[in-house]
Amino acid sequence: MFEFQAVTIQELEELAHTIHEHLQMEGKGMHEVGELAIPLAGNIKSVLERLNVPHKVINGNIVVSQDYAKSLLVSLGFVDTNGKIDGASAIANIERYVEKAQSALELANAVSQVKLEKRSTFIGARIGRPEKARERLMQPAPNALFPIGDYGGRDRNITDAYEKEEKKFGDKKIKVEIARYKCDTCGRIVGMPYCYDCGRPTRIERVDSDEKAYDEIEIDIDKMMTGAMKRLGLVKLPNLVKGVKGLINKDKIAEPIEKGILRAIYGVYTFKDGTSRFDATDAPITHFYPREIGTDIETLKRLGYDKDYLGRDLTSDDQLIELKHQDVIINKRGAEYFVKVAKFVDAVA
């Protein structure tokens, strides 16, 4: 099967004519087909190269071996239904379809007795799929594993629930399913491991022997958010702090809201288990060129790369270098996300 996508209709037509002019096998059966020889002239060699037809140049002739000559003749419709070479009909057929065909592959399919498939898809990339590498996000992607129900609108925006829905929800209390953390000091059930009202640690109160540790609990979102902002030293909340509609863990234990606020500030999202992830194809790589990964030589030397793979001193970004076992090459987008995550982690600590 040849690479018909790589040539034009006109080039295929020209090739067929040239073959026909020099064909010595008119009327012969397929088993009698021998080498195909065409004078080395014009565009023909280039067309054969792009079609991926193996050939040699001998004494000014392009020579295609017996097997490939057969394939080529079949593909171009030089073989009739009886298995005989019929160049005149092939050319007539090609001329009939040359105007109608949309591609060289279509033309070959119109004239050939056999069905010809597209051989390959051309891909330019060397490794990996950078376009596929991205933050791994839930849909919708939350900043905070904190249940906000329908209070934050479609975006589950906790900031909205806190700031903008004041009138709608009166005294800014939300009712959500959350773990029954109770404050022993003030007696409130606050839904979190510290009391947003008096600041004391709380504990989960299980009802009797009931396994169920959560309930629909009214939370004073005003006090909760105001307290969180104070602890974080914020005068204003990020415009969007995405929570979740509901929690899915068994006891419905929410994250401290501060974590969600900090993620929103640093552009970090969380997965359902509280991790932040970045998806990338694991493309094994053993060697690299500095210019391909966009890292300058000075930086590489600082990282311990002072020789190329042949042991020569590193002086140019064109030298091939063996990647050390402990190192990975991360794409730019991944690196940017990791920096955000690192900033978030620093802020939490």
Is 256 in contact with 224 (CB distance < 8 Å)? Answer: no
* Dihedral in degrees, nearest 10, Cα atoms 219, 220, 223, 227: 10
Phi, psi of 221, deg, nearest 5: -65, -30
Strand-strand pairing, 173-179 and 287-288: unpaired
Among the listed ranges 58-66, 154-162, 190-198, 208-216, the one in contact with Zn ion (CB under 5 A) is: 190-198
Site for Zn ion in 191-230 (CB under 5 A): 195, 197-198
Among the listed ranges 56-64, 123-131, 176-184, 279-287, the one in contact with Zn ion (CB under 5 A) is: 176-184
Verify cis geometry, omega within 30 degrees of 0, for the bond prior to 140.
yes
How many binding residues for Zn ion (CB under 5 A)? 6
For residue 204, the minimal CB distance to Zn ion (Å) is 15
For residue 348, the minimal CB distance to Zn ion (Å) is 23
For residue 249, the minimal CB distance to Zn ion (Å) is 24
Closer residue to Zn ion, CB minimum distance, 85 or 183: 183
For residue 196, the minimal CB distance to Zn ion (Å) is 8
3-class state of residue 112 by DSSP? coil
185 sits near Zn ion (criterion: CB under 5 A):
yes
Closer residue to Zn ion, CB minimum distance, 29 or 187: 187
CA distances from 64 to 19, 77, 117, 169 (A): 11, 17, 22, 83
Task: Identify which of 90, 33, 42 has the alpha carbon closest to the alpha carbon of residue 64.
Answer: 33
Provide the β-strand partners of residue 194. 201
The residue behind tokens 């970045």 is 278
Among the listed ranges 117-125, 185-193, 238-246, 326-334, the one in contact with Zn ion (CB under 5 A) is: 185-193
Closer residue to Zn ion, CB minimum distance, 195 or 261: 195
Residue selected from 64, 104, 183, 241 as contacting Zn ion according to rule CB under 5 A: 183
Which residues sit at the interface with Zn ion, rule CB under 5 A? 183, 185-186, 195, 197-198
